[in-house]
Structures are given as C-alpha cells and as structure tokens.
Amino acid sequence: MKRYLVGGAVRDILLGRPVVDQDYLIVDATPEAFVRRYRRARQVGKTFPVFMLGSAQYAWPRGESLNEDLLARDLTINAMAMGDSRHIAGRLHFHPLALADLRDRLLRPCGEMSMFDDPLRVYRAARFAASLPDFSPHPELIAQMRAVAACGALADVFAERVAQEVRKALDTPKPSRFFALLAETGCLLPWLPELEASRHIPAGPPEFHRGSLFAHMLEVVDRLAGEPLAGWMAVCHDLGKISTPECEWPRHHGHDDRGVEVAEELGRRLKLPNRVREAGVAAAKLHMKAARYSELRAGTRVDMLTWLHKHEMVEPLFALVQADSGHDVFPLAKRDLKVMLSVHLPGRQRQRGPISGERLRNLRCQKLAEVDREQGRTPQGHGDSDAPLDLPGD
C-alpha cells in the first residue's frame, strides 16, 4: 500500500505555507485492504470510495494511475503528489507544468476541458485567486471560465457548493479577487446577479464614494478579509442601491430599507445557513443607522444592541461600519451593551410576556440616558424616533 499526500497540501509545502487540509491518494491497495489496516476509517464517499481518518481524507486515483489522476485535476499547481509512506517518502509526482507555474505564480487549468469537466471549478479557481493573491490567472483560465459561463453550465452547480466557495473566499487574504475574477469572466451570473448589476451603478455622491457600487463592495470586503461573517455583511450592505431609479443616481435614499429584501433573496438563492443570511439582511438594514450610532437616542441604541447581542452580531456589524464609513463607534456600543446587560427586572416583574419585555427595555433606555448625561453626551437623534426600532425578523 502506497500513500501520497496530494493537492493543495503539497502546493503549500512547496510554497512554505501552513498546511490546512490533508488529502491522500492510496495506490496499490483496495478500499477493503485499507479498511482492514485502518479500522477507525469512516467512509464518506458514495459514488467513489472516500474515507476520513481523523481530519485527513483518503481516496483512490481517478483513472488508471496516479499520473492520470493528476492530469485530470483543476489547476496545475494543485496537480502534485508527494510520497508519504515508507520507500516513497518525499517522492514527487506532478503535472508537467506544475512546478513552472508554481515558480511563475500562475493559475492555469490542467487541461483544455478542466473547467468544463466540473463547472464548480470556476468558483474554486476564483477562490484560489483570492487565497493566493500573488498568483495571476493564466489566459487559458480566463478563456475557459468565460466559455463555461457562456454555455450556461454554471446553472447546474449546486447552490450550496457555490455558497461554500463564496464563504471560503471571504476567509482569504484578498476576497476582492474572487469577485473581480468572476466579474471579468462573466461568472457572476446566474448565482450572483445582484453583484453583476452593481457593476454599472454609482456607489454614491462623489463626496462620499468614487466609482461603482461593485468597486466599493470590493474595497470593503478586503478591509474585512479573514472575517467571513463580516465579509458577507460587506457583500450585502449596499445591495438596496441596485433598485434605485437611475434618475436619482448617484444618491440612494432609502437603500437600507430596500436592501433587506434583496439581501434576503440572495441568501435564499445560495441556500446559506440562517445565521449568515440574517447577517446579510441585518447589514443592509442597519449599516446606515449604526454608522450614526453616537447620534442615536437611547431607545434606538437599546433595540439595536438587544437584537445584535441576541444574534451574536455586535462585533461583525460594527466592524462593517468601520470598514464602510471609517467610523469606529464600536467602543461606545461596547460600553452601552455592558451598561444594558447590567440592568435586570426585579423578580416580581419577570415572566409576564411582552409586558416584561417592554418594562426591561424601558429600564435599559433610562439607564443609558442616565449614563449619557453623566458623561456629558446629548445624542440629538437626527430623524431617529422614540418608537421601537424596526429590526430584521421582527
């Protein structure tokens, strides 16, 4: 039985990067022989024999040999195998162009049909552009991605798989490259039509924004690189602007309210987990008001922080605000949250349903207003009302 470490792990070893995922190919042994030797192995593959042993994945070459398997992979820099068992330890097998492309920092398809063989590879290739920001897409990759988009094959990719690549891209050093490469090759459609539309809409008045709505989103996601939830909020926060009538450009009055439905539709199309979908909706609804946090009345701040705390989104939302507007209001919000959470209902007023909830809200509002006065703060509201804040899901 021969065991080879394959794919991204070998690439990262040669690049001197930390190895995150360990995938192995087994040669000269059947799956039955593998299970007899490794009794704790758990089968996860249905169509093909794939096993998990700890956090490592074990599979068998597709095709007649190890080299045939490598030639059928997505990108040349991922088409490498390193011997990991006795007698073959450290021995390299690779696509003929792999080492040259690794040296030249190129993302190149393994073959003429690599992207067509599995259209999901279009999104994977874009993610590698984001995770390896010093690598450039080879012209052949650009051409294949455009051709896959043009023939409509991307519509056949499962929504969950697209969503997985989007979320992984947001956890890379340069997430903007993921979306930019998809835009360049016509691959934002059919799964991300809101982003395609945003390429042709001004982000806002020149005194606040330069360039398109899409370009602004790219800037914000890069400021939140490595924070996937906040990154998704960045993708969604200005989506309401795509429904602004052209006659009103470059202003987008009311885009925060309009963005709720747009962000919800995008999240549902991608079949995102509820928490991620809710984060996108909250970003669209609250980012403008949160940017003016220091000006808000106590009641609005209480309602906003109560909802965000319940959904564990306080830090991501205020990280978005800073990335979007440059306003760092998180210290004040953090202070307010601590004050709020120190206020509790007396025992006799608890467990009375909505009455208890309203009473607790009032006490917290009074406490925040009191702290404001003690610190010489006098929030003016500026269009903010004393009525409870309309929040996502309410």
- Concatenate the DSSP letters of all residues of 55-91 into one string: TEEEE--SSSSHHHHHHTSSBGGG-EEEE-STTTTT-
Asked whether residue 381 carries a pLDDT value surpassing 70, the answer given is: no
Phi, psi of 91 (to 5 degrees): -75, 130
Among 122, 217, 221, smallest CA distance to 167 is for 221
Average pLDDT, the chain: 94
pLDDT at 206: 85
pLDDT, tens digit, for every residue of 77-87? Answer: 999 999 998 88
Q: Coil, strand or helix: which one is 4?
A: strand
CB-based contact 68:55 (threshold 8 Å):
no
Both structure tokens of 159: 């929504």
Asked whether residue 45 carries a pLDDT value surpassing 90, the answer given is: no
On the 0-12 / 13-18 / 19+ scale of CB atoms within 10 A, 207 is exposed
CB-based contact 315:334 (threshold 8 Å):
no
Pairing of strands 2-6, 80-83: antiparallel
**Beta-carbon neighbour count of residue 206 at 10 Å?**
10
Both structure tokens of 174: 């340069």
The mean per-residue pLDDT over the stretch 274-298 comes to: 97
| Integer Cα distance of 158 and 190 in angstroms | 12
Residue with tokens 């096993």: 51
| Integer Cα distance of 49 and 31 in angstroms | 7
CA dihedral of residues 217, 219, 220, 226 (deg, nearest 10): 120
Asked whether residue 234 carries a pLDDT value surpassing 90, the answer given is: yes
Both structure tokens of 269: 């199309």
Pairing of strands 50-53, 23-27: unpaired
Pairing of strands 23-27, 2-6: antiparallel
pLDDT at 392: 76
**Beta-carbon neighbour count of residue 14 at 10 Å?**
17
CATH of 107-279, one of 3.40.640.10, 1.10.287.610, 1.20.140.10, 1.10.3090.10: 1.10.3090.10
pLDDT at 127: 99
| Integer Cα distance of 125 and 104 in angstroms | 17
Phi/psi class of residue 51: alpha, beta or left (left: φ > 0; alpha: ψ in -120 to 50)?
Answer: beta
Residue 115 Cα distances to 72, 140, 146, 153, 365, angstroms: 10, 10, 10, 10, 56
Both structure tokens of 203: 């982000």
Asked whether residue 228 carries a pLDDT value surpassing 90, the answer given is: yes
Asked whether residue 382 carries a pLDDT value surpassing 70, the answer given is: no
CB-based contact 178:169 (threshold 8 Å):
yes
Instruction: Give the angle subtended at the CA of 378 by the CAs of 373 and 382, to the nearest 5°.
Output: 150
Residue 286 binned pLDDT confidence (cut-offs 50, 70, 90): very high
Radius of gyration for the alpha carbons in the chain, expressed in angstroms and rounded: 26
The mean per-residue pLDDT over the stretch 316-335 comes to: 97
pLDDT at 256: 96
Residue with tokens 């939830």: 229
pLDDT at 384: 59
Give the CATH number of domain 2-102: 3.30.460.10
Asked whether residue 135 carries a pLDDT value surpassing 90, the answer given is: yes
Q: Which of 49-58, 102-111, 182-191 has the lowest mean pLDDT?
A: 49-58
Omega prior to 190 cis, within 30 of 0: yes
pLDDT at 383: 52
Residue 30 binned pLDDT confidence (cut-offs 50, 70, 90): very high
The mean per-residue pLDDT over the stretch 139-144 comes to: 99
Give 372-380's long-range contacts (Cβ < 8 A, gap of 24+): 372/298, 377/294, 379/294, 379/295, 379/296, 379/297, 379/298, 380/295
Domain boundaries, the chain: 2-102, 107-279
Asked whether residue 50 carries a pLDDT value surpassing 90, the answer given is: yes
The percent of residues above 70 in pLDDT, for the chain, comes to 97
The mean per-residue pLDDT over the stretch 60-76 comes to: 94
CB-based contact 294:379 (threshold 8 Å):
yes
pLDDT, tens digit, for every residue of 163-213? Answer: 999 999 999 999 999 999 999 999 999 999 999 999 999 999 988 888 999
Asked whether residue 324 carries a pLDDT value surpassing 60, the answer given is: yes
146: Cβ–Cβ under 8 A, 6 or more apart, which residues? 185, 186
Asked whether residue 350 carries a pLDDT value surpassing 90, the answer given is: no
